[in-house]
Structure 1
Amino acid sequence: MVLLSSANIDYHLPFIVRKSDGSIIHPRKEFDAFAQHQLDVSRLDRIAEHLWMVGRVGNVHPLHRQHVLGRQVILTEQADLHLLWIDKTIFIKPLPAWLLDEAIWKQHIRISPRLQACANGFLRTYAYLVAYECDFAIATRLNLIPEGFTWPSWLNLVQDRLLPLCLDRNPLSFAPRYTYGELRLSRINILYRLLPKLKLKHFFRGYYYGSQAYQGFLERNFAWLVAGFAYLALVLTAMQVGLATKQLENNTAFNAASYGFTIFAILVPLFAVAVVAALSLLLMIYHVRATLKHLHETTVAIKP
């Protein structure tokens, strides 16, 4: 399994890594913290009992199949975005060279059952992603696997290291997230907004906050309103035509239904606009408060 020697492993590590909370990790000095950060899937493990609604057990398509499905592969260094997909996009974390170094496994990974479970699950996904020689060509072109591999050397790695993980049936060997393969990101966002045990901030941000402006957020989450309004207009037009016919002109039930639906069609758009406006206001308040909080924490941190 050894790919790198300890002498040159530093060249495959970044100088600094910034975490989501703004803190900085120096991988070459704080490797344990770096490895924990790079393999962390705790956000998905937190909702592991609900993941059956967003993916299937062990479902990982090879890279060539991702192309057949019309998906664009987006590289990410976040392990908790690895194999999450939305629309025609799937996120894949490149296989880091340091994760294939035997010395690192002995000194850092095997001493932590949690970290080893995350590493095992992540490595196992690559046995499925790069299953054929054409997958290897795609992975090489996308820089998903470290430099220096050939197809025969990759097969040796799969046989010696990855295949035993595929045959391992002990659930404790893997982080709960890796019981499942590809996960639908849109449904994970819904879970993060609706599950009561999560924090209020998740209601606003969901799991993955891809929108960088209110317009994009509203377009993504309220596009269905346009279709709803179009349907209302279609039904009102049909009712108007129906009232003009002799068969329905004096029909009491149809007249009552037309009256009720007309009132409904007037009130629903007003209610929808009010909801969108209220949500936009809440989002603005939330982001202003979050910005002020971050500014305060940053100011306190840099004070002597």
Structure 2
Amino acid sequence: MGGLEEATAMPSPPFSQHLSSGPELKPLRVIHPATVAVGDELVRPIDDMNAYLEGELIPTKLDRVYRHLHYAGAPRFARPLHRQKLMGRDVVITENVSEHLIWHRAKIFIKPLSSYLLDYKFWVDHLCCGSEALHKSACGFLLSYIWLVSRESDFQLARDEMCLLPKDLEWEYWVAFAEDFTRKVDTKHLGQVARRYQYGELRLSRLNRIYRYSPLVFSGRNLFRGFLSPSIWYAELFRQNFGWLLGAFAFFSVSLSGLQVALATEQLGSNADFHRASYGFAVFSLVAVTASIVAMILTWFILALYFYVSAKVYHRRVQAERRKAWNNEVL
């Protein structure tokens, strides 16, 4: 009987209502945006707080490919902000929780910490009475900030320079909060947080490959765009996917020049086997270069056709939905 009560008990906030240590702490102001974009619609948090919070906190795109996340990152804590700066990374703000702690080259995407996640009453009213996934995702997101902001230097960077923390948050409050949080949430086994937070930083290039080729999420859209395409410019796309061709062309050029010099020598100029090998390599080089150019042109054509058709279909769908919504309003 006790096990049943424990299984059905409502989850609690991952910190105490009255923090057990630290100085007098003033409460933070909880302010939500008036509207947020969800897909093609503007949603007001006051109309459906649960839907708003699920969109804000549940990393849906990463949950879909969780089985492959080991390919994109190691199961260890994210580095604190001062280490991110030391590594030469620029922090780029994102409001999409699925992009939180994803890095690409010299950038790392981080979602700011909203003040409502530090408010005990808000947790009781909205986060503890929602779905288990929402509660675990909120706990995991808080845990990610425990990783990122571990020292006062991290705190100053996060609040004053990067605008990742509420402006009225004080260092003493954060220390007391982090101490209380780590007593209530097992930061070793991580059973109380969403499974995405079993991993820290994730590499964008590998997430793009997972989204393009994994059977779990395979689709025409994902094949072209991946998880988060860093650029929609064709030049960037071709540079990323066909840059290796420059090395191949250089190899063929140097090799053919070497063969030409070798054929001009007395030792190899009269060697029939070397002549046949040179002839075969020359033909192979011409075919390979021609095939590569044709592949690039074909890829460009397919991309142009895909983006044109998808834009046309998207335009028609949005217009139809707007007309339907307008007609329903009039009726």
Kindly indicate whether residue 262 of structure 2 is the aligned counterpart of residue 242 of structure 1.
yes
Q: Aligned match of 1:23 in 13, 33, 41?
A: 41
Kindly indicate whether residue 93 of structure 2 is the aligned counterpart of residue 75 of structure 1.
yes
Q: Tell me the TM-score normalised to structure 2 length.
A: 0.84
Q: Distance in 2 between matches of 1:144 and 1:166?
A: 24
Q: Is the 8 A contact 1:123 1:162 kept in 2?
A: no
Q: Secondary structure at the match of 2:46?
A: coil
Report the counterpart of residue 301 of structure 1 in structure 2.
321
Q: Distance in 1 between matches of 2:110 and 2:186?
A: 19
Q: Secondary structure at the match of 2:103?
A: strand
Per-residue CA distance 1:101-156 (angstroms, 9 max, x = gap): 22221122122101111111111111111112211121121011111222222111
Q: Aligned match of 1:227 in 226, 247, 253?
A: 247
Report the counterpart of residue 5 of structure 2 in structure 1.
none
Report the counterpart of residue 214 of structure 2 in structure 1.
195
Q: Is the 8 A contact 2:115 2:166 kept in 1?
A: yes
Q: Secondary structure at the match of 2:144?
A: helix
* Aligned length in residues: 299
Report the counterpart of residue 292 of structure 1 in structure 2.
312
Kindly indicate whether residue 131 of structure 2 is the aligned counterpart of residue 115 of structure 1.
no
AA of the residue aligned to 2:92: I
Q: Structure 1 residues 222 and 102, CA, compared in 2 at 3 Å: closer, same or farther?
A: same
For structure 1, the residue ranges without an aligned partner over 5 or more in a row are none
Q: Distance in 1 between matches of 2:272 and 2:92?
A: 59
Rg larger for:
2
Q: Distance in 1 between matches of 2:237 and 2:73?
A: 24
Report the counterpart of residue 199 of structure 2 in structure 1.
180
Task: Name which of structure 1's ranges 270-279 and 159-168 shifts more when overlaid on structure 2.
Answer: 159-168
Kindly indicate whether residue 176 of structure 2 is the aligned counterpart of residue 144 of structure 1.
no
Q: Is the 8 A contact 1:97 1:146 kept in 2?
A: yes
AA of the residue aligned to 1:150: E
Q: Is the 8 A contact 1:41 1:177 kept in 2?
A: yes
Task: Name which of structure 1's ranges 232-241 and 174-183 shifts more when overlaid on structure 2.
Answer: 232-241
Instruction: Give the superposition deviation at 1:4.
Output: 8.4
Q: Aligned match of 1:87 in 105, 108, 112?
A: 105
1:33-52 counterparts in 2 under 5 A?
A: 33-52=51-70
For structure 2, the residue ranges without an aligned partner over 5 or more in a row are 1-14, 18-24
Q: Aligned match of 2:121 in 72, 82, 103?
A: 103
AA of the residue aligned to 1:259: Y
Per-residue CA distance 1:169-197 (angstroms, 9 max, x = gap): 253x2222211111110011111111123
RMSD: 2.1
